[in-house]
Structure 1
């Protein structure tokens, strides 16, 4: 079986590797001249090509965002500058000899069903060689679309924006603060990109404003005892506690957020709960707000020639730059519209956010069309692992009616759970979604059996961070190094910090004791709650 992989970013590299693991013949088409996708920094702004900022540091720790069978080097820091991520992707490509499968500077013009699709499930891909401008067509047995959903700018209709005389920049085109010195800047949008841009510019601009109508919960990268917030939060025990005591856990998490800085005092307090919209991860926002170099404003009502009128009737004049950190629209302009269609940023016809249910043959996988509350890299990899086994018939998808019922129930659940935004339609919870795909694929860790065979490993998996290695312990794609990777994950996390001998014996960490104490206290609270009902 010959598989076309479109894109050589994080998900495209995983797709090639999964094809190799399953014995599939793959060809990857990448429109740029190198791999890495958005993690490959370039000063050059190219329309439709997303790129990290020059200063970008991951807000997911290295142990959580790595591929499931390839831990990041132990010497890499806890959180990575984008240059480290690009190095890691190159190491991954080198380790598994992925480059030889990639054809660079190849632009996809269309992906259409072949004439015999109903019988074979084959696709015709029309592409252009950007080096020669030659156009050609190839036929493939299956296709993995790995372009993600960060290529098309999403720009809401702001009244009066066309009359504004200053500079208007989308966050996709922002690279570094050079050229913004001494200017008055308005950043619209308080997601991770908007907050990072606002914080960075507040160090050089004369004044930065950040506009948000709903506010946001803000958490730092590291919390108690200097531990990474994701490794302390994304645990199976926490999922169980949220199921048992959802309101109590939500209140505790919100209290934890306000312990860092009171969101009400800083005008960031949202009306929505902490679990109904992904919080932003940013270490500097409260400091910049406290110093006055950054100020929070409400939604924009209308633009004037030189400034903005906000919904609360306040006015800011003499603005030099407006940065639209308004996110991205989901579009696949090259893809056969009969396969999947996007309406108002709603990809509502993808089973498990991957497979178009209308196709007569399941030979198309759309990878990366999700927004995980947690690490995305292992999510994209799991989507690829499942897709390649579906292509081969090793995993059978349900019938059309069952897939549509699943899709409809998910969309209804999303409406009930999350605050409505232009991206809430593809929101997923990291552990729950990974378990869902892994169950279909047969690689979900069976902690019940592990408890008898390897209790130390089972307890680490349940009470410790749900790192991607857990999905390599059993089933298809099992990796012999998974157990060791799990048991040494904290060594790799904290090891790079040990750069100065302390001259005394370090005390053993108390985190396990504190965790079990917390679980015990919550259990007592639950029993008291039941008793009072």
Structure 2
């Protein structure tokens, strides 16, 4: 008698959860996705509620050519940098195209995930229904759930309005207000720009500089210059000569930034933190807004509140403001899990005391994906970070989960996984000692090599230095050149035969995208 396929619960149906449902179902698992909102898309679905979401004016930072799922391109008539509505429509089309709707339970609030040792399964406590049991669980609620707001001395004296950026939905509500936006990240500059023309005064406060990049350089998306060859070269240095990698990357990004914009010295945008401490800020207009005075840069952090509407900065400057908007990021929360399987229950004391940890948890996860307690049945999405788009990153991550749980690929021993996590945490803590650190930061080339191997994309073999790689180069030189030196499109991950399902349209789409990119360059010239 045939055995029923393993059941998998995917909690959260944003960008990460949707691709998990699709890739696991594609490999034969009985998948059910849960989402507390009545819609899919997570933060890409604008909501006026106090929950994380884009603004209607939001434009993506990664181009559609590099930031899509591996087997589902954005529509050809969509702009390279899509609007929030374009992305929402894209995700809804993804559900329809792959027939996922019957697997999704929208408007369903999962309150707790507990390991039930008696049944050797996972018990989901779901609001309004009896407990549900599953063989495996993917936590895909993402990193942007719990707002992080610094403790500000004398905050009780402030009589104005103080909100996290998560609650910033309608710029027009700040009409005639004097607003202090805190944080020079992509959210901070977008928030400040959205307030221009509404608020009476807009300040943007920051403690350190930033690499500021436009979405396009000379009419072409800046990320189109990233090729597989460049990733491999940078990966070699990151793995073997990390200080050289850091110097090369920081120098290259700094040059690109200074070529695109002219910064006034008093803004203190330069020098910027290293790529290891802060990702580039993507903005087409914040420099012009600084120069015009429509947004006033304050290159210092907040020291304290000194009056009902008076804020003192670190340099002693005092500002008269009646609104503070904190664009200070989020903490990755694991409250959904029973304490016994919470990967942050043994967070390193060294991490907690490092200046750059900023109170964020540091989960012990193999490859920042698999639970060390139950690697064959519990996985997490949203804990891997490097400079790339979330769509292809977590498409590959969920291919990897599917192949390991299916038994086509294997995990190391528990001892080896713990040693790998120890090494990963040591690197992360060293970064946190020098400045801000993302708990999920990984060596990009090393992580991609592992993920491509376990997912079985064929990329390591066909585009590597082994016999299969030389054979592919000899027989397909034009295609090889396009894959290695053309735009690094996510469809490469579905091109070759392998463990995961191949996409028959991958080559045609890769060639079309490369033609499109060349046309953009010709129009520029």
Q: Place the TM-score, normalised by the shorter chain, in its bin.
A: 0.7 to 0.9
Q: Residue in 1 aligned with 2:336?
A: 334
Once the two structures are TM-superposed, the CA of residue 414 in structure 1 deviates from its matched residue by 2.9
Q: Residue in 1 aligned with 2:31?
A: 26
SS at match of 2:371: coil
Q: Residue in 1 aligned with 2:364?
A: 349
Q: Residue in 1 aligned with 2:312?
A: 309
Question: Residues 271-282 of structure 1: matches in 2 within 5 Å?
Answer: 271-274=272-275, 276-282=277-283
Residues of 2 paired with 1:429 and 1:85: CA distance? 28
SS at match of 1:308: strand
Once the two structures are TM-superposed, the CA of residue 432 in structure 1 deviates from its matched residue by 5.0
Alignment partner for residue 195 of structure 2, among 197, 201, 209? 201
Corresponding position: 1:481 with 2:498: no
- Contact 2:277-2:435 at 8 Å conserved across structures: no
- Contact 1:375-1:430 at 8 Å conserved across structures: no
Q: Residue in 1 aligned with 2:378?
A: 364
Q: Residue in 2 aligned with 1:152?
A: 146
Residues of 1 paired with 2:88 and 2:36: CA distance? 17
- With the length of structure 2 as denominator, give the TM-score of the two structures: 0.87
> Structure 1 residues 241, 65: CA separation in 2 closer, same or farther (over 3 Å shift)?
closer
Deviations 1:408-454 (A, max 9, x none): 21222234457766651112465653333112222251214232232
- Contact 2:227-2:484 at 8 Å conserved across structures: no
> Structure 1 residues 210, 507: CA separation in 2 closer, same or farther (over 3 Å shift)?
closer
SS at match of 1:106: coil
Q: Residue in 1 aligned with 2:106?
A: 104
> Structure 1 residues 162, 239: CA separation in 2 closer, same or farther (over 3 Å shift)?
farther
Q: Residue in 2 aligned with 1:465?
A: 487
Aligned length in residues: 487
Once the two structures are TM-superposed, the CA of residue 393 in structure 1 deviates from its matched residue by 2.1
> Structure 1 residues 347, 285: CA separation in 2 closer, same or farther (over 3 Å shift)?
same
SS at match of 2:479: helix
What runs of 5+ residues in structure 2 fail to find an aligned partner? 1-5, 238-243, 348-358
Once the two structures are TM-superposed, the CA of residue 160 in structure 1 deviates from its matched residue by 1.7
SS at match of 1:411: helix
> Structure 1 residues 507, 295: CA separation in 2 closer, same or farther (over 3 Å shift)?
closer
Q: Residue in 1 aligned with 2:172?
A: 178
Q: Residue in 1 aligned with 2:355?
A: none
Corresponding position: 1:284 with 2:285: yes
Residues of 2 paired with 1:16 and 1:380: CA distance? 12
> Structure 1 residues 235, 98: CA separation in 2 closer, same or farther (over 3 Å shift)?
same
Corresponding position: 1:9 with 2:31: no
Residues of 1 paired with 2:402 and 2:135: CA distance? 11
Corresponding position: 1:412 with 2:426: yes
- Contact 1:109-1:125 at 8 Å conserved across structures: yes
With 227-236 and 392-401 compared, the bigger mean Cα shift is at 227-236
Deviations 1:39-75 (A, max 9, x none): 11122x23xx311112111011111111101111111
Once the two structures are TM-superposed, the CA of residue 178 in structure 1 deviates from its matched residue by 1.0
Q: Residue in 1 aligned with 2:240?
A: none
> Structure 1 residues 115, 418: CA separation in 2 closer, same or farther (over 3 Å shift)?
closer
Q: Residue in 2 aligned with 1:513?
A: none
> Structure 1 residues 242, 11: CA separation in 2 closer, same or farther (over 3 Å shift)?
closer
Residues of 2 paired with 1:371 and 1:274: CA distance? 12
Corresponding position: 1:229 with 2:243: no
Provide the aligned C-alpha RMSD in A: 2.3
SS at match of 2:141: coil
Deviations 1:466-497 (A, max 9, x none): 221111122222222211221111445688x8
Q: Residue in 1 aligned with 2:352?
A: none
Once the two structures are TM-superposed, the CA of residue 135 in structure 1 deviates from its matched residue by 3.1
Once the two structures are TM-superposed, the CA of residue 256 in structure 1 deviates from its matched residue by 2.3
